[in-house]
Structure 1
């Protein structure tokens, strides 16, 4: 998510210079701490516990656990720059730290859009398993899930790393990291790619697969614990995607209209600046909402393991009874 303007040593040098954002900066100075600190602490704990459960406790590498492990790693990558982001909100950085800033911004965006595409892949995997079970036997496997996760990492890194390095122009002035991107960062080509490929396309795929999967489960008439768990996973994935990312990408679109001087009213620009900063802060809550998916997946894996054990025990009892006769 591209950040709005923020004043440092020099004010902005565009049409926004005649509009004061001091009240917005004053509000965000404290609001970001209120939002970021709980998200950072809770997200760090939840994702670390999720990795421990999937990698140490369960140790059953199904398609779901592989996707969840990759998602937890994406969330941790998103959380890593948050302390630097909080510091940069209230402090100017020296010009020689621009390279470090670009790296942190890149990691932040990789975590965001990697999470988006991983959640989309989970929805596609579920849709294929439930709506197309015969094809799923050929296409779904832990190896295929691992390959998909690696492909997401490679594609997101290849798309974001070269792009974010062009967001900042070399200069000798102090700056706010995560703020005041150059005109290249707000170019129509970049914003269209962010909106279409970064949000709209994954959102459409996620909603389509989720609706189809829920409809298939309802039509089948199954009321088992596994089907109920599957529906809960679908709803939790929708919440982890739509609630954080829809408002923030709407804010990006509005801020783009400001940068293109489509919106020039000072009051509207201040409202948009506050809106995009608040929604961007709240979008990081996806690190905590993903914990819902972790819980249901872990419960599903443990339930399937217990049912497998019960079936094996019943087979042994039947064999023992037969041998006695």
Structure 2
């Protein structure tokens, strides 16, 4: 056993020396995840405490699962949970599928110069912060905004989007589609380059048109990529974007717009209830992990590789 362990140690040292430049390139990412992802996980302990900042982790009282019991006893959590699930469901149905459609359409373009121009314009919104996006929407759609001015000039009635709870969720999804769809196409376009062109040629020789080629060649060629990204998306099903929702939220739409992330911010950061909100965050993480494991097993049962 000792010899085997020693041999393994020597093998690992040799691999690190051999791949030292790759490890050096990966070092910034490793440090980032250690500092901002793994080290903060030590704070999970306060979910089982009545945490008081002045007493710290060691001096705060242990309460076991009391904070988790409060989650299920809270009358507000159910509404915020349903709002989160509904918005996330809309994002999966629409915002997740739009990049696939865009990638397929871009792949069908034959003029490379025009294709690059379209890609550039689609990518640009990704580099705008949510603060800028929220500002643009407020300027355009507020009661005295540019859109309502145009509608009045055309003899139409002004519309109320920002304060209308019936349109709020749709507006959030449209913002995500506009901002992130172009950037999301990058992975699918990369996957499309791996499809053998001879498959399209064979499909054309069999009389398949454009739509048939997309259905029988393109979609099967990127199916594994779609499944992997879908599994990863399920892991964040209870995360719908704190910044976006918080910036667009107002009193008129709080019934349908308040989500778990904004609730955690309000209860934890504003009201100082750190233990309770940490328990909510931990429960969200557990739900995401369960969904990833379940979706991955389902994908592997159908012959796909899955995430792991």
TM-score (norm 2): 0.28
Max Rg structure? 2
Q: Larger relative contact order (C-alpha < 8 A, sep ≥ 6)?
A: 1
TM-score (norm 1): 0.27
